[in-house]
Amino acid sequence: MARASFEEVVSAIEGERQYQKDKWGDLDERNNVADFVLYMQRYLTEAANLNDPDNPEKSLDVIRKVTSIGFGAMERHGVVRREGY
């Protein structure tokens, strides 16, 4: 699979966030940080089980979902920035 630019990655995350909002509504308002972590953990476990070096698309699909869930958590609960960056 080809490398992607930062802009392509951000665009994919934005699309996934919209998909999640369309599918689930505004879950962000009903979930605390721990809920978001549990959702992410569930999908990361799925990605680990799908791991296939010859077919990384399945795992990358789940990584897009997980990353978007993390974005949703920070949109709802705020961002903790890495010091100095």
Query: Could you identify the residue written with the tokens 């705020």?
Result: 78
Q: Flag whether 12 is in a domain.
A: no
Q: Which structural domain, as residue segments, surrounds residue 70?
A: 33-76
Domain annotation covers residue 47: yes
Tell me how many domains the chain contains.
Answer: 1
Say if residues 69 and 40 touch (Cβ distance below 8 Å). Answer: yes
Is 42 domain-assigned?
A: yes
Residue 8 inside a domain? The answer is no
Query: Average pLDDT in the 5-11 region?
Result: 97
Query: Is residue 83 in a domain?
Result: no
Query: What are the respective helix, strand and coil percentages of the chain, to the nearest 5?
Result: 75, 0, 25
Compare 52 and 65 and report the one with higher pLDDT.
65
Separation of alpha carbons 6 and 70, rounded Å: 17
Q: Answer yes or no: is 28 within a domain.
A: no
Q: Using one digit for the tens of pLDDT, what is the confidence trace for 26-45?
A: 766 788 999 999 999 999 99
Give domain status of residue 18, yes or no.
no
* Confidence label for 54 from pLDDT (cuts 50, 70 and 90): confident
Q: Is the pLDDT of residue 46 over 70?
A: yes
Asked whether residue 55 is assigned to any structural domain, the reply reads yes
